[in-house]
Amino acid sequence: MTLNWESSENKYKMNNGRDIMARLHSGKRGSSGSKKPLRTEAPKWVNLTAEEIENKIVEMAKEGKQSALIGTILRDSYGVPDVKLITGKSISQIMKENNVYPEIPEDLFNLMKRAINLRNHLEQNPRDIHSRRGLQLIESKIRRLVKYYKNTKVLPAKWRYSPETARLLVE
């Protein structure tokens, strides 16, 4: 059996002999983004110690902030370019060590928030078929993530996604 690389059904596209992963819900390949600079040690101009950074992370996590927002605040307000270079651990690892990491993984939580917002929009605009399709794509992504997290034992085996429970969890 030969593969037709030009087919939009195939996830992989050929690029000068290399396989490149295409986007999941479109026929496009996506755009390349910027990369973090290659550094092996923490910059000398950072004023905070590893212990102070860990304390700030735990403090912000207890306020209910997600790890991405914590990283942004540390970067913009405290001048910490990369937590992992200074502490040797990622923000999520620090949160897990101090038992302040949320029960539901953040990527799943954010997808559930998007699905709820889209459901609210569809209640106001029931004929918006493009948004209805977007909701189907988001919810299929949620189901795939839930399946992955159940297999890796991050979520309990009996955990199920439903829009009603998601609304309760997010609010």
For residue range 89-111, list pLDDT tens digits in order.
999 999 999 999 999 999 999 99
pLDDT for the residue 32? 73
- Is CATH 1.10.287.10 correct for 106-170? yes
Closest of 58, 152, 165 to residue 105, by C-alpha = 152
Residues 114, 134: Cα–Cα separation, whole Å: 10
Give, in order, the Cα–Cα distances in Å from 128 to each of 34, 124, 134, 135, 162. Answer: 35, 9, 10, 11, 22
Length, in residues, of the chain: 171
Cβ atoms 138, 111 nearer than 8 A: yes
What pLDDT is attached to residue 37? Answer: 83
Ranges of the chain whose pLDDT falls below 50? 1, 8-9
pLDDT of residue 28: 75
Predicted pLDDT of residue 27: 74
**pLDDT (0 to 100) of residue 1:** 47
pLDDT at 34: 83
